[in-house]
Structure 1
Amino acid sequence: MVSTSSPRHAVVVEDDADIRGLLVLVLEQLDFVVTEAPDGLSGVEAVRKTNAELVTLDINLPDIDGMEVCRRLREFSDAYILMLTARADEIDRLNGLDTGADDYINKPFSPKELQARIRALFRRARTPAAPAEDTGQSDELARAAVVQQSLLPRETVRLEGYDVAGAFRPSRSVGGDFYDWYQTHDGMHLTFADAMGKGMGAALIAATVRAVMRSVADTPAIDAAFGSASATITSDLDQSGSFVTMFHARLDSASGTLSYIDAGHGLALHVPADGAARRLVSAGPPVGILDGQLWPASELELEPGDSLVIVSDGVLDAHDSLEEFQRNVEKVARSGATSDDVCAALLELAPASTAEDDVTAVVVRRKPNTAL
């Protein structure tokens, strides 16, 4: 009989070294023991040797393609297979699932979305019994929770013509979620981040990120500010083997122009007063993944009646697909009378009774024009 404390094994089949390294980091954060394979044949052998429970599989490999790898794996393995592809056409996606894959994700991918897909796959399996509670661990989690709560902004943003709110509900294990904001002479600055990991380690990394992001507030250009901050943060992350996903924005309240940088977060939506919501795409990987990484800034216009909605992966985890997630977040964003109402409803999308991670939401709504 296999012990419930036995580690889970995963195999990453990917020929690109940078992408392979990112996948390993993401899976290790989910407590997998990871084996790397740069091609299809070595991937098949690695799964056979490790009896892996999860395989991430690139379609384009230098020897045999991912479709063939998937077919061969299904001859002896019932591991969950998550295929990664840069191909956009639907035929490839369907073929990948027909060969026995359990799910697919497009490149470039968000680490948050990848982790959510993996958690969704393993929710199909029987949940092992929880180990007896460790008193020392409980004390550490309690201290981490205090640190995490202290990172939330104490001041209320009061911008004429805007309604801004945030909400946070920690999980039992305490993660690295936090949001921060403060007013400026022309609007506001906003940071929404998640340090990978749990407990005090993640909470302390989050505290460092908050302090560093505040320290660059006077740097005029958002891309220069973010680049300087990320270089400082990366040196700390190197020591801990962690990384941070982040959404950082600056709002000019008079014009409604929002300048932003998304570093691997990928869970911010622009919900216009008219028209469909749009998910804001990441400008690059999380902070701490690649040395010397630069993230370009983007802009959007918050017109009267528009909203910016940012949530953590705790909300994404509660949905079976990214499409369902976006549909429900947009619905909630349009139904609340105030930003506080919307934040409360967003947290309810991931009920506390089933949520496995922190759940966090921030809403910036530009009030509609009421003048006739």
Structure 2
Amino acid sequence: MVSSPPVRHAVVVEDDADIRGLLVLVLEQLDFVVTEAPDGLSGVEAVRNTNAELVTLDVNLPDIDGMEVCRRLREFSDAYILMLTARADEIDRLNGLDIGADDYINKPFSPKELQARIRALFRRARTPAAPAEDSRQTDELERAAVVQKSLLPRETVRLEGYDVAGAFRPTRSVGGDFYDWYQTRDGMHLTFADAMGKGMGAALIAATVRAVMRSVADTPAIDTAFASASATITSDLDQSGSFATMFHARLDASSGKLSYIDAGHGLALYIPAEGAAQRLVSAGPPVGILDGQHWPAAELLLEPGDTLVIVSDGVLDAHASLEDFIRNVEKAARSEETSDDVCAALLELAPVETAEDDVTAVVVRRKPDVQH
């Protein structure tokens, strides 16, 4: 008889209903049973009643502030406490006060980063041995892996003056990671996405995302195309109770202009030939979180020698901090001669023996001008 994994409880203490809903979705994807609390006092009681192992705690609450909630929790609970703040001055206070919190993250936050922080917290504790898998579960993972691999592009991008490569390394726990690209008359279109969840459900959602994004390829404006696609995708996500983070870009090869939309992904880096790497920030939440959401497009210019790197949260999870992640990704991009080699180096940042999630990378490099 196969034993069930232990149930983990989490409490979300947040007065903003939209943010609270997003936090609940993120935690449920990590297999927590989640209790919501709109203020500090009810949050303390929720932790007491559920014996929660994780608490996400907003600093600004309508009754008592998050720091006081943290102090009260530490009187009876050893739960991991992850504090959320929207103001820089509060970050200084959190750094300077020994209030018993385990970590903090500032708003607006990336769901990827939040999940990575939570995984890092729970790696500090001893975890029980994984239960044996039954044959039905194994069969589903195998079928999901086939679907997931089928989503990867079969064609190689051959753009004069560019070097484009992608790499994907699955784990045994199949998720919804995928990337897709195809050449156009002017350059290329690229989509990088992660449908939250595991197994066949996530793989099928990823397949839907890929198909829908390809269906809007002929829509001239990227923001119009993305709005149309996201509306279609959201209906499928609503039925599954899931959401998808996405990075979608269109490259005009002759000019180097890259138009892009980041919907909750937050793991794309622009690495210029000269100067520091820049993390491309999200334009809004993941697709499927809010009805009627609009994601504005942004642009950057890929000059000769510049590189765009997009990775999955499997790479972020392997790092202790966002700063370490950015530094090591930039180092990998600058140390290798080809995009294929950069992808290989990026996968090595998340060693296969310790990686808890799929590891995916895409690199778009504009080749330096040849000096005669």
State the TM-score bracket (shorter-chain normalisation).
over 0.9
Residue matched to 2:239: 239
SS at match of 1:251: strand
Residue matched to 2:296: 296
The Cα of 1:93 is off from its aligned counterpart by 2.7
Q: Is the 8 A contact 1:29 1:197 kept in 2?
A: yes
The Cα of 1:92 is off from its aligned counterpart by 2.1
Tell me, yes or no, if structure 1 residue 72 matches structure 2 residue 72: yes
The Cα of 1:95 is off from its aligned counterpart by 4.0
Tell me, yes or no, if structure 1 residue 93 matches structure 2 residue 94: yes
Q: What is the distance in 1 between the residues matched to 2:369 and 2:270? A: 18
Residue matched to 1:348: 348
The Cα of 1:88 is off from its aligned counterpart by 1.0
Tell me, yes or no, if structure 1 residue 58 matches structure 2 residue 61: no
Write the deviation string for residues 201-248 of structure 1: whole angstroms up to 9, x where unpaired: 000000000000000000000000000000000000000000000000
Residue matched to 2:169: 169
Residue identity opposite 2:94 in structure 1:
R
Q: What is the distance in 1 between the residues matched to 2:261 and 2:336? A: 27
Listed as ranges, the matches of 1:234-273 within 5 Å are 234-273=234-273
The Cα of 1:199 is off from its aligned counterpart by 0.5
Unaligned 5+ segments in structure 2 are: none
Q: What is the distance in 1 between the residues matched to 2:24 and 2:253? A: 41
Listed as ranges, the matches of 1:128-277 within 5 Å are 128-277=128-277
Percent identical: 87
Q: Is the 8 A contact 2:5 2:130 kept in 1?
A: no
Q: What is the distance in 2 between the residues matched to 1:244 and 1:11? A: 23
SS at match of 2:88: coil
Q: What is the distance in 2 between the residues matched to 1:94 and 1:154? A: 48
The Cα of 1:18 is off from its aligned counterpart by 0.1
Point out the more displaced range, 253-262 or 127-136: 127-136
Q: What is the distance in 2 between the residues matched to 1:354 and 1:135? A: 24
Residue matched to 1:17: 17
Q: TM-score, with normalisation over the residues of structure 2?
A: 0.98
SS at match of 1:299: strand
Residue matched to 1:285: 285
Q: What is the distance in 2 between the residues matched to 1:72 and 1:151? A: 49
Q: Is the 8 A contact 1:4 1:129 kept in 2?
A: no
Q: What is the distance in 1 between the residues matched to 2:96 and 2:227? A: 41
Residue identity opposite 1:92 in structure 2:
R
Residue matched to 1:371: 371
Q: What is the distance in 2 between the residues matched to 1:167 and 1:238? A: 30
Listed as ranges, the matches of 1:33-48 within 5 Å are 33-48=33-48
Q: How many residues align?
A: 369
Q: TM-score, with normalisation over the residues of structure 1?
A: 0.98
Unaligned 5+ segments in structure 1 are: none
Write the deviation string for residues 146-172 of structure 1: whole angstroms up to 9, x where unpaired: 000000000000000000000000110
Write the deviation string for residues 287-334 of structure 1: whole angstroms up to 9, x where unpaired: 000000010000001011000000000000000111110110000010
The Cα of 1:361 is off from its aligned counterpart by 0.1
Residue identity opposite 1:228 in structure 2:
S
CA RMSD, Structure 1 to Structure 2 (Å): 0.9
The Cα of 1:4 is off from its aligned counterpart by 7.3
Residue matched to 2:31: 31
Tell me, yes or no, if structure 1 residue 333 matches structure 2 residue 333: yes
Q: What is the distance in 1 between the residues matched to 2:143 and 2:68? A: 49
Q: What is the distance in 1 between the residues matched to 2:268 and 2:7? A: 33
